Amino acid sequence: MFNHIWSVICQNSSVDEGSNTVNLFGCIENIGVDIDKNKNTNNKISIPIQFDIVSYWTLDDSTKKNSLILKIEMIKPNGESSFQKEENIFTQAGWGRIRNIAKFSGLELGINDSGRYIFRVSQKEKRNGDFVVVANLPVDININIK
């Protein structure tokens, strides 16, 4: 079984080859965007931001291979799911912990969609099982219309 320890949203992350430590750069708590209403005719905006969601997990039984389906969703302030991404994670025997780095590029929002967004991390260990939420990561997005 996989045990979720932590997840963080950051602008960039890297793993040092020598020490196998993860470095998190620019942890994200909020995003501010200024837009010109006269130049935006379709009421949509594209925020050109690249970011990572880094998660750290431990395993109960490291003597065997393990697998996990990880899902990351972005929940809008109104409670609707905006997008989701699923990844299959496989471990080898002898692995007692893992890190997962999910990379994202750009956000598509409505011009009036300021508010608190939740990036929800969920796990499913059995193919036909249910997803279980393990982390809710809030990011406040403020869209300033000028």
The CATH number for 123's domain is 2.60.40.3880
Domain range enclosing 60: 2-145
- Spatial contact of 67 and 89, defined as CB atoms under 8 Å apart: yes
Backbone CA torsion sign across 128, 91, 3, 51:
negative
Count of domains observed in the chain: 1
Q: Which pLDDT value is given to residue 44?
A: 84
Tens of pLDDT, residues 3-31: 999 999 999 999 999 998 999 999 999 99
pLDDT band at 41 (very low <50, low <70, confident <90, very high): low
pLDDT band at 54 (very low <50, low <70, confident <90, very high): very high
Tens of pLDDT, residues 84-109: 999 999 999 999 999 999 999 999 88
pTM: 0.89
Q: Is the pLDDT of residue 63 over 80?
A: yes
Tens of pLDDT, residues 110-131: 888 899 999 999 999 777 789 9
Q: Which pLDDT value is given to residue 40?
A: 67
B/e letters for 35-45, b = 16+ CB within 10 Å, e = fewer, are eeeeeeeeeeb
Q: Is the pLDDT of residue 37 over 90?
A: no
